[in-house]
Structure 1
Amino acid sequence: MASKEGRRRLAWMLRANRKLASSENCRSARQFTNQLRKLRPTLAPSQVTRWETGKTSAGAATVRHYEQILGLPDDSLVSAYEAVGRFWNCSDAIAPATATESSKDLHELIEKSHTSGAMTGREWRRLSRMIQARPGLVLHPPRLWTTIMHNLLNELATAEDRAWLVRQEAISRLAEHPVAASFAVRACIDIADDPATPVCIEPISLLDASRLPEATTYLVDLIRAAPDRRPLTGALLAITAKARRGHFTLKTHGALADALRDLTSTAVHHRALNALVDDTRLILGPKPYSPYDATIVTACRTLGLATQRRVDAHLDTEDTVLNDILQDALFSANPDRRLYAAFLLAATPYRTALAHALVDVHLGVSLGRDLPFEHGLQLLAKLRVPDHRALARRLLLSRAQPHQVRHAAAWACVHSQGRLDDMTWRRILAVQFELASVRPGALDTDILLGLVYSIGTDSHVPLLRELRDDRRLPPRSRHLANWWIDRIHATRSGS
């Protein structure tokens, strides 16, 4: 079932990019097929239609041909196609590579990967696929694997957009490799457990790709320990993905069900985590999916139609797949499901129109829920348009906003399009410090942490140095500022 829905969405991505292309030659299926035949002379006349309806899988090579003919940046479609395909367990989208490149190329990339920051996203993709095509590959000494994994995970921690997707898929391939898997799993666990590293959700959630018992044991132990909500979030994301892929034995399935039954999270600012716990219980249950209620369906249909009209004023056919993806992007309790829905939307020409409609229709109208507003800001960030930063800045400079909105705005700035200048961040910090003093709340600590993280993604090193020494900040935020200083210096020096 998951594969069928995944194929439907991947086919939609190809169809939307072609039918909404700026060139009339591309919008015509027949003329687009003629252009494809220059790259694939034996292509059948009906093949484009079959790809774009999900009857057959296109594969990454075909998706790259779409990029070339449509004049899109390299990996703009391939990165989303592979990552979304993995999430939905579409085996055709993540088909194993074949060993077509020389051992010399492999050795050169392995050597390059041992220098931190030296690899491009495309090189990480090539290297991981070359390793994938050689299931018996052994490196000597074995610590070479460890260096590769740590360099890749360190880059992933600060990567954005397609650069993040490509690296995420690369580490997932390595976590499936018969030899590399144990090193990938160990590196993920080491980074997640390292108190000096503030990033833990990603390395924990990436354990979803591995079938190794140590990955499952680590996740089950985390659920039982019920630690801080961030590692717990990572564990829940990995568990839901592994459950969909059939990784668990009946014994493990039962142990997880028991652990989740005992898991409680009652703090107000953990509402998102509570929703994820409920979603995980549902995935592990007999009926893993349930439809969204009528209010959500109607809201997303309204947003979808507003988006379509901005792209095509003479709208004649409603895009129901767009509406379905919007439901996941805005209302799913699972952050990964929202994330990959957002990346899929961002990989289509709907991107800018959706961002404008989202501000006007969704964020401008109260739907009577708190979480969708936060999810709306997160989606806007993934669409990577200037509207997002302008809205977040306005919310963070306002003294009238409630804690939940300020929290959403602080974290929605992380790894998003554009950059706020040093002076703007200082004004935002002054407002948020003032509000934390005169109107304290349970979310204050996390709001300040989100601001520091966002300032780090904007690479304001002088301001980060001040924050590192600012005693008004909790220790965790000061530590995060120091971590960002080290990461920025490492990236700039190429060391």
Structure 2
Amino acid sequence: MAPAILSRGICLRVKASTRPRPPFASLVQRCNARRESSNSSYSPQGLGPGSARWYPWRVGAGWDSTPVVADGTRYRSRDRLAWILRANRAYASAIDFRSLQTFARGFAGGSRSGTISASQVSRWETGQSRISAEVFARYEEMLGLQPALLSSLAHALLRYSGSRVGATALEKAQVLSEDDVHDRLDILLDLLLSNAHMSGSTWDELSYHLITHPSIFLPRGVWVAMTERLLSEVIIAEGIAWFQRFEALSRIMGHPRGQQAAIAACVALANDPTNQVFMEPLSVLDCTRHRDANGHIKSQLINPTNSQALRGALLATVRKVRDHHFDDSDLTYLFDILVQHVSDESSHLSARPLASEILRMMPAEVTSHRSRALERALRDDRVLSQVLRSGRIAQAHVTAATVNRVCAAAIGSMSGDLPTVKLESVLAALVDEMLHSPISDIRLMAAQTIAATPFRYPVADGLMLELSNRETVASPVLGTAILGALPFVGRAKHRLIVERLALHGRLPTDIANAAVWAYAHMEGRGRTTFWQQALTAHLAASRSTPSRLADQTLSGLIYGLGVENRRDILAPISNDPRYPVAARKAAVWWLGISQHRRASART
């Protein structure tokens, strides 16, 4: 029997397989054999100040840890997941399934074996019973939902609300034997190293096996190839495919050997000025305490590559402060940097409230003696002052009318019985977070939670009514928040309204900028006539009134064309001297993404 491998309180035994192997020499088997022959043990290197101990990866470890706070009521991650199940069943297209008894009788089969009672369904849907991955899968099958829609969102919610790096919080009922895990890894790694298509579910399975079997040894070169390819697909993936890849990258960030390669890949991409996507490679560093990740986030806060990189670093800092990745000396130093960003009126509209929220989260002993500097930075700015006081961009009693209008419009258009008080109250909390949280990750999670239920399009229609209000368009903070939610909840028909806002007023404006960036990810595909009109208008604006906002909006148009793979428009831009050098380089970068990689990232 192979020797046990010890690592900081965790003991895993790697045994040789007795099953006949296929002709392809197993990479996993060779790597483990090499490791056993060296008789070496390992432990994670470079952990930050909050990680004196390496926690073993335990399925379900992230359940309900660090609940996300909604206005007025604390809705934990398990409450939100229970709400998703109930909302989908209560408004199912198959009317019979709206009955607990009928739904329970039909639950056996597919991804779930064995019968259940109506009371079990009720416990899942009220958060009284833990929900496994197979339960989410069975709900998807029975209700005709897109595969992995619920489970991928559940992974994201539990990861963001938890603090244990790399933990996979959803239980899987079917546990593979060690031999079966090795066989599956053999197949998955062969796909990876042969540059074959890797679907989102493939990345999910690969990262799950690696994080739940951390004693399996892979050469550094394999980790490098894996993380570089995964990151290259994360930054161009959409929808569920993006969810699955981002969660896979987050898991690898928690692997004792894989984390260094993952961090290095993210750092290299974020430091590359020719790169066009900065949010993901920086914000994903929020899940690791490794000193290299902490150091890079601090570097980007001090000297960001661009405005996108600054926002990505600020997003990572939110969880790093919350989960104590930085020590007191780091926080004291970062305080001055954050005050500078709060004071920078030329920065991106969302950057200043985000920096203010991080300051609010810092321990009092770090900030108490520096209150005068902060007061000067917040002088005469109601939004930033409100964020620092309450963690909201506006007072709850002021925003309640907007939330109530959106929810009333959504509920009024739903067929079937009126929602329960719990369904309605959670929906109101999610809409409130989606529109009024200073943290864009929380806004994104709230929007994606709504999007995973039948409330999706009715809420979007309610948001469209708000955008038709002149006061909303005149309020950059609320208007941009609504536009930021549309890529997740909106319909294809809503593109026409966003097109008008992208060309509205004396350009450039914050609303037009937000509309351009939102347009890139909305359901459907952009009209060629709009792309041409928008390019003409915003190019003229950037030439007549040069500003950071004008450059950001033009970059957003190139980004949208890249996301849609509009090579017919990007190719002429790359050689057109009328466009700024940065825009031409951006077009070249998007044109350089191979069609093979795009096809793999969209599955």
Aligned residue for 2:427? Answer: 322
SS in 2 for 1:366: helix
CA contact (8 A) 1:81 1:93 kept: no
Deviation at 1:59, TM superposition (A): 2.5
Q: Distance in 2 between matches of 1:63 and 1:436?
A: 48
Aligned residue for 1:94? Answer: 169
| More moved, 40-49 vs 416-425 | 40-49
Of all paired residues, the percent bearing the same amino acid is: 28
Matched, 1:450 2:559: no
Q: Distance in 2 between matches of 1:418 and 1:488?
A: 22
Aligned residue for 1:276? Answer: 354
SS in 1 for 2:348: helix
Matched, 1:471 2:550: no
Go from structure 1 to structure 2 and tell me whether the alpha carbon gap of 1:400 and 1:228 turns closer, same or farther (over 3 Å shift).
closer
Aligned residue for 2:449? Answer: 344
Alignment of 1:411-426 (within 5 A): 411-426=517-532
Deviation at 1:193, TM superposition (A): 1.2
Go from structure 1 to structure 2 and tell me whether the alpha carbon gap of 1:434 and 1:225 turns closer, same or farther (over 3 Å shift).
closer
Matched, 1:110 2:194: no
CA contact (8 A) 1:363 1:376 kept: no
| More moved, 318-327 vs 379-388 | 379-388
Which residue identity does 1:357 align to in structure 2?
G
Which residue identity does 1:122 align to in structure 2?
S
Which residue identity does 1:57 align to in structure 2?
R
Go from structure 1 to structure 2 and tell me whether the alpha carbon gap of 1:248 and 1:205 turns closer, same or farther (over 3 Å shift).
same
Deviation at 1:37, TM superposition (A): 4.0
Matched, 1:407 2:513: yes
Matched, 1:125 2:204: yes
Q: Distance in 1 between matches of 2:419 and 2:273?
A: 55
Q: Distance in 2 between matches of 1:475 and 1:158?
A: 23
CA contact (8 A) 1:137 1:179 kept: no
| More moved, 283-292 vs 67-76 | 283-292
CA contact (8 A) 1:283 1:289 kept: no
Aligned residue for 1:30? Answer: 101
Q: 1:78 aligns with which of 151, 161, 166?
A: 151
CA contact (8 A) 1:136 1:178 kept: no
Deviation at 1:397, TM superposition (A): 4.3
Which residue identity does 1:41 align to in structure 2?
G
Q: Distance in 1 between matches of 2:261 and 2:495?
A: 38
Matched, 1:225 2:303: yes
CA contact (8 A) 1:96 1:132 kept: no
| More moved, 347-356 vs 438-447 | 438-447
Go from structure 1 to structure 2 and tell me whether the alpha carbon gap of 1:103 and 1:322 turns closer, same or farther (over 3 Å shift).
same
| More moved, 231-240 vs 277-286 | 277-286
Q: Distance in 2 between matches of 1:494 and 1:290?
A: 39
Aligned residue for 2:279? Answer: 201
Aligned residue for 1:48? Answer: 121
Q: Distance in 2 between matches of 1:45 and 1:313?
A: 20
Matched, 1:301 2:442: no
Under a length normalisation based on structure 1, what TM-score does the superposition of the two structures give? 0.92
Q: Distance in 2 between matches of 1:412 and 1:132?
A: 34
Go from structure 1 to structure 2 and tell me whether the alpha carbon gap of 1:311 and 1:494 turns closer, same or farther (over 3 Å shift).
closer
CA contact (8 A) 1:356 1:387 kept: no
Aligned residue for 2:228? Answer: 150
Q: Distance in 2 between matches of 1:309 and 1:70?
A: 22
Go from structure 1 to structure 2 and tell me whether the alpha carbon gap of 1:288 and 1:129 turns closer, same or farther (over 3 Å shift).
farther
Q: Distance in 2 between matches of 1:289 and 1:88?
A: 19
- Higher RCO (C-alpha 8 Å, min separation 6): 2
Deviation at 1:275, TM superposition (A): 0.6
Aligned residue for 1:388? Answer: 494
Go from structure 1 to structure 2 and tell me whether the alpha carbon gap of 1:434 and 1:475 turns closer, same or farther (over 3 Å shift).
closer
Go from structure 1 to structure 2 and tell me whether the alpha carbon gap of 1:315 and 1:400 turns closer, same or farther (over 3 Å shift).
farther
Structure 1 residues 26-65: Cα deviation after superposition (integer angstroms, max 9, x where no partner): 2112222222245342635422222212223313221111
| More moved, 317-326 vs 387-396 | 387-396
Aligned residue for 1:2? Answer: 67
| More moved, 251-260 vs 227-236 | 251-260
Q: Distance in 2 between matches of 1:53 and 1:289?
A: 29
| More moved, 313-322 vs 183-192 | 313-322
Q: Distance in 1 between matches of 2:541 and 2:299?
A: 38
Q: Distance in 2 between matches of 1:321 and 1:25?
A: 24
Structure 1 residues 59-97: Cα deviation after superposition (integer angstroms, max 9, x where no partner): 322111111111212111111111122112287972477
Which residue identity does 1:94 align to in structure 2?
A
SS in 1 for 2:145: coil
CA contact (8 A) 2:321 2:358 kept: no
Runs of 5+ in structure 2 lacking a partner? Answer: 1-65, 69-74, 365-387
Which residue identity does 2:321 align to in structure 1?
A
Matched, 1:175 2:246: no
Go from structure 1 to structure 2 and tell me whether the alpha carbon gap of 1:264 and 1:349 turns closer, same or farther (over 3 Å shift).
closer
Deviation at 1:256, TM superposition (A): 3.5
SS in 2 for 1:102: helix
Structure 1 residues 113-140: Cα deviation after superposition (integer angstroms, max 9, x where no partner): 2355610011111111111121112113
Deviation at 1:341, TM superposition (A): 0.9
Structure 1 residues 305-360: Cα deviation after superposition (integer angstroms, max 9, x where no partner): 11111114764645011111011111211111111111111111111111111101
Deviation at 1:102, TM superposition (A): 3.0
Go from structure 1 to structure 2 and tell me whether the alpha carbon gap of 1:117 and 1:264 turns closer, same or farther (over 3 Å shift).
farther
Go from structure 1 to structure 2 and tell me whether the alpha carbon gap of 1:252 and 1:36 turns closer, same or farther (over 3 Å shift).
farther
Which residue identity does 1:275 align to in structure 2?
P
CA contact (8 A) 1:329 1:342 kept: yes
CA contact (8 A) 2:198 2:600 kept: no
Structure 1 residues 412-444: Cα deviation after superposition (integer angstroms, max 9, x where no partner): 112221112434312221222334445555421
Deviation at 1:271, TM superposition (A): 3.0
CA contact (8 A) 2:101 2:117 kept: no
Aligned residue for 1:66? Answer: 139
CA contact (8 A) 1:79 1:165 kept: yes
Q: Distance in 2 between matches of 1:189 and 1:414?
A: 25
Larger Rg belongs to? 2
Go from structure 1 to structure 2 and tell me whether the alpha carbon gap of 1:343 and 1:363 turns closer, same or farther (over 3 Å shift).
farther
Which residue identity does 2:571 align to in structure 1?
R
Go from structure 1 to structure 2 and tell me whether the alpha carbon gap of 1:138 and 1:351 turns closer, same or farther (over 3 Å shift).
same
Runs of 5+ in structure 1 lacking a partner? Answer: none
